[in-house]
Homo-oligomer: A and B are copies of this chain.
Amino acid sequence: MAMVSELGINLANEHAQVVPISLFVAILCFCLVIGHLLEENRWVNESITAILVGCTAGTIILFVSKGKSSHILTFDEELFFIYLLPPIIFNAGFQVKKKQFFHNFLTIMLYGVTGVFISTFIISAAVGTIFSSTDTVCTLQVLHQDETPLLYSLVFGEGVVNDATSVVLFNAVQKLDVSRLNVGALRVIGDFLYLFSLSTALGITAGLLTAYVLKALCFGRHSSVREIALMILMAYLSYMLAELLELSGILTVFFSGILMSHYAWYNVTESSRITTRHVFATMSFIAETFIFLYVGMDALDIEKWRMTKLSVGNLMGIYSSLILLIFLGRAAFVFPLSAFSNYMSRRTERTSAISFRHQIVIWWAGLIRGAVSIALAFKQFTISGTTSDPVNATMITNTIIVVLFSTLVFGFLTKPLISYLLPHHAIRKNLNRQESKTPMEDMNLPLLSFEESAATNISRAKESLSFLIESPVYTIHSYWRRFDDAYMRPIFGGPHSRQTEC
């Protein structure tokens, strides 16, 4: 008897989980196909598709559940921070072209760190740093790493550092008590530096450890499965450890990604290399789509709307002012900082200055508030997805609206804008598309572009030696490269030291 009842409960539990998951997976598949079919389309991109599909799904569920709820799962912010965010950021670190990234490191930090600080203070303390974290994924889908390397690495790099900064800043702001705000600013900066350095160190350690273990124990000898498993697990572990130590998991996993692609990647078998690159890309792809889907659904959450005791007029006022703030807040640092970095680079006679058109693209790219904003909002204003306080509800709805608006409208205009600002780039892009029609090319492409970036490092290093006198950045880089080839690569692996002893 007891057993039967237990069984009943068990089945109930099971279905409570099985139904939403199957639904979500089905919708994900649908999004995937749509996204593929709209690939040629120059107006719509992946995230917009996901959001729109999410909205439609939400409305359907709304009708089916007779206006009870619009989403299948309630958004537990843990779901985001534990399962969805790590793959996205890790993949970012794993796939980034390291040379470009570190070449523009200073500029990126300028944008990422200073940017958040400035726009945080402009976008009032009330809204906090939620809207300072930008989502550049949308723009990156339009920019090409090989065609506009500088622009790409700036936008991308800012995106990452910026995510990290705003999470850090967000936690910091939460910690400090408002009574002693004069001391606050210093403490925030202190906290930031502390967290930034520690998180980075942890990430680097994880990456190096993985590389060393893979190299020393020659995992490839027995099975490439273990190699892949180890890389994935170690990356994930580094993130979780960072969260555990209340550091910025994002920064940690990002740097562990960079180091794994720089060292560990060379210590695994050929098939593992291909696999890892595609797996990480796929996981992050799924995670992103999932988030945007959810945002789409959550936009129709009746409960939250009812709870916000504000007239439509007021809401509109809030939203428009928020978006205006975002516009200003971003403009307020993008253009000055660009000017500054241009001035610096002119001093050091670096050829690659940031043209005004590029500045506009950078400014634009950051206007889009993405998944991280949502997650931060949910983290602050709800206990695991549910809220009771009307003020909190308002905050969340605000966030969602801003994200929706920015992603849809700005995202919608991104491709046209860029093809208007960088017409040459747009043409090149179309050409590429024509070429990559053949599967053969496309299928080697990812590997090639990666191999290339790894193989030609040496030649690049030689190049950079010629600039030695001209640019301090190059000097640092060439020093690093010498050190890397002399000490790091022999220990942790790289293109030179192909695991011969195995």
Contact = CB atoms under 8 A, between A and B. Distances in A.
Interface of A: 2-3, 6-7, 9-10, 13-15, 17-19, 21-22, 25-26, 28-29, 32-33, 35-37, 39, 77-78, 81-82, 174, 213, 217-226, 228-230, 232-234, 236-237, 240-241, 243-244, 269-272, 274-275, 278-279, 281-282, 285-286, 379-384, 389, 392, 436-439, 442-444, 446-447, 499, 502
A57 B26 CA distance: 38
Given A22-B240, A220-B443, A380 B3 contact: yes
Copies in the complex: 2
Contacts of A436: 221-222
Given A10-B384, A35-B226, A221-B439, 14 more contacts: A3-B381, A14-B81, A15-B244, A19-B244, A25-B233, A25-B236, A25-B237, A36-B222, A39-B222, A221-B437, A229-B282, A272-B443, A279-B279, A438-B502
Given A33-B217, A219-B36, A221-B436, A443 B228 contact: no
Query: Dominant SS at the A interface?
Result: helix
Contacts of A226: 32, 35-36, 285
A174 B279 contact: no
9 contacts: A6-B383, A18-B82, A21-B82, A218-B439, A221-B437, A224-B443, A225-B281, A269-B443, A279-B282
A233 B213 CA distance: 32
Closest 3 CB pairs of A and B: A269-B443, A22-B240, A275-B278
A14 B275 contact: no
B77 A10 contact: yes
A432 B274 CA distance: 25
A213 B34 CA distance: 12
A502 B282 contact: no
Given A33-B213, A224-B443, A271 B274 contact: yes
B217 A17 contact: no
Contacts of A220: 439, 442-443
Contacts of A6: 381-383
A379 B10 contact: yes
Given A32-B233, A233-B25, A285-B225, A446 B240 contact: no
A229 B286 contact: yes
The winner among A78, A234, A438 for most chain B CB atoms within 10 A is: A78
A37 B217 contact: yes
A66 B447 CA distance: 52
Of A26, A218, A438, A443, the most chain B CB neighbours within 10 A belong to A443
A238 to B, nearest CB: 10
Contacts of A223: 36, 442
Contacts of A270: 443-444
B271 A447 contact: yes
A271 B502 CA distance: 25
Contacts of A236: 25
Instruction: Kindly name the residue among A25, A77, A230, A379 whose own CB sees the greatest number of chain B CB atoms within 10 A.
Output: A25
B10 A230 contact: no
Contacts of A36: 217, 219, 222-223, 226
Nearest to A177: B4
